Amino acid sequence: MKTRDRILTASLALFNEEGVSGLSAVDIAAALGISPGHLYYYFKGKAEIVSTLFTAYEAELALVLDGAAAAIAKPDADLTTMEIQLRILLEETHDMRFLFRETGALVAAFPDLAPRFRRVMSAQYGCVVDMLTALAARKKLKAKAKLIDALARQVVLGLSFKLLQLDLEGDAGAPRARVARAAGRLAATARRAVLAAFATTGLAP
Amino acid sequence: MKTRDRILTASLALFNEEGVSGLSAVDIAAALGISPGHLYYYFKGKAEIVSTLFTAYEAELALVLDGAAAAIAKPDADLTTMEIQLRILLEETHDMRFLFRETGALVAAFPDLAPRFRRVMSAQYGCVVDMLTALAARKKLKAKAKLIDALARQVVLGLSFKLLQLDLEGDAGAPRARVARAAGRLAATARRAVLAAFATTGLAP
């Protein structure tokens, strides 16, 4: 692995493990066994490392959102398809969990992250609205635009913070199991709301 | 104001403004124009200040949750009653917003906060379930236990992180207006889900 990639990989692991606030670029260099000068040759400091990791996250997310659009376009797509896509989106959050465990502090320290977080949430919102709208159009769920908007906003909130909430609730399971649990809970609101609507019409969901 | 209270008030303002990670007890003493020794006479350090502020938050929250229980018990309580109570709960989050802007980092730094966050979320969940259940029992909304559980989990997630999400979305309105907006959005999911159910039965919500 090239030194630049080693620095990014080690930084991500350290940030996810110990948080960003308490770590300096010098700490990262020490963990890698390289000199601070060597690290500064590749990155001007912690802000540039965080920004570069965020760029990688944006690229990953773009792929996952494209994948979700393709999955929901298939003729047999249903609520389970959406739950699987939410799980994949939550895997991305999990991989970059340092971003969501001290979000406010990070944005205060690195203000250029704010518009980038905004774009990420906006892209996720658009994707979730498209999934719900596609399912509604094919009678896989019964929801008008305003319900879809409200559900999508809740799901996007969950994509950022549901895993942190599970942490706080003391959910100590394996990461993959926790991601699956969070995705199930996010899909549950849509599913239950939909089932409630279906239950009153007698349509099979 | 007594020195101990002055320290707590100044600490809360500084934490909400600048975050916890970047501040030391010495910084807090400097902001107050007192010596670090003077501050240490009242608090052993930052952890004890954070813990004491959390205790005040717990006490406030207990009052608000009691108030919500009383409000929803009134015969004319409806979805608007719940929205008002959510707004009051979100005011509490806003007042203590430092806790939710770097939650993961705080819990890592001060592990005794984890079970306390858990109790707070659990109490909020119980309150929201009770409100939704009371409204359902009086036919103000149509939702079975599983939908109520899913909605309540989403609302509790929002009580912690919806204001942070609005920050990230660049919502720069006045604090009170932002709290009202967040409460409206939290209530919207329940309201829309409920309206969807009502729309199919023809009952007036």
Task: List average pLDDT for each run of 10 residues in chain A, which is 205 residues long.
Answer: 93 93 92 94 95 96 96 91 92 93 91 93 95 88 80 89 86 84 79 51 32
Average of pLDDT values for B172-188?
83
Among chain A residues, the shortest Cα distance to B164 is held by A104
- Which among A19, A108, A157 has the least Cβ separation from residue B105? A19
Q: Does A56 touch chain B (CB under 8 A)?
A: no
Residue B74: the pLDDT is 94
Q: Does residue B64 contact residue B122 with C-beta atoms inside 8 Å? A: no
**Burial readout A184-197 (b: 16 or more C-beta within 10 A, e: otherwise):** ebbbbbbbbbbbbb
B114 touches chain A (CB under 8 A): yes
pLDDT for B201: 35
Which range (A128-132, B108-112, B146-150) has the least confidence?
A: B146-150
Judge whether residue B200 has pLDDT over 60. no
For B:19-38, CB contacts with A below 8 A are 19-22
Q: Are B97 and A117 an interchain contact pair (Cβ–Cβ within 8 Å)? A: no
pLDDT-derived band at B202 (thresholds 50, 70, 90) equals very low
Q: What is the pLDDT of residue B204?
A: 31
Looking at the predicted complex, does its ipTM rise above 0.95? no
Q: Does residue B152 carry a pLDDT above 70?
A: yes
Amino acid found at A199: A
Query: Under an 8 A CB cutoff, do B104 and A101 touch?
Result: yes
According to CATH, the topology of domain A50-201 is Tetracycline Repressor; domain 2 (1.10.357)
Q: Tens digit of pLDDT for each residue in B64-99?
A: 999 999 999 999 998 889 989 999 999 999 999 999
CB contacts, 8 Å: A144 with chain B:
196, 199
* Residue A140 sits at the chain B interface (C-beta within 8 Å): no
Average pLDDT across chain B, whole number: 87
User: How far is Cα A186 from Cα B148, in angstroms, rounded to an integer?
Assistant: 14
- Contacts (Cβ under 8 Å, ≥6 apart) of B137: none
Q: Does B123 touch chain A (CB under 8 A)?
A: no
Chain A residues in contact with B197 (beta carbon < 8 A): 193, 196-197, 199-200
Which pLDDT score, from 0 to 100, does residue A194 have? Answer: 56
Q: B46-201 has which CATH code? A: 1.10.357.10
CA atoms within 13 A on the CB side of B127: 27
Contact residues for A36 (Cβ-Cβ < 8 A; gap 6+): A25, A26, A29
Task: Domain ranges for chain B, please list them.
Answer: 1-44, 46-201
Assigned fold of B1-44: Arc Repressor Mutant, subunit A (1.10.10)
| DSSP classification of residue A172 | -
Q: Taking a C-beta distance cutoff of 8 angstroms, is the pair B182, B140 a contact?
A: no
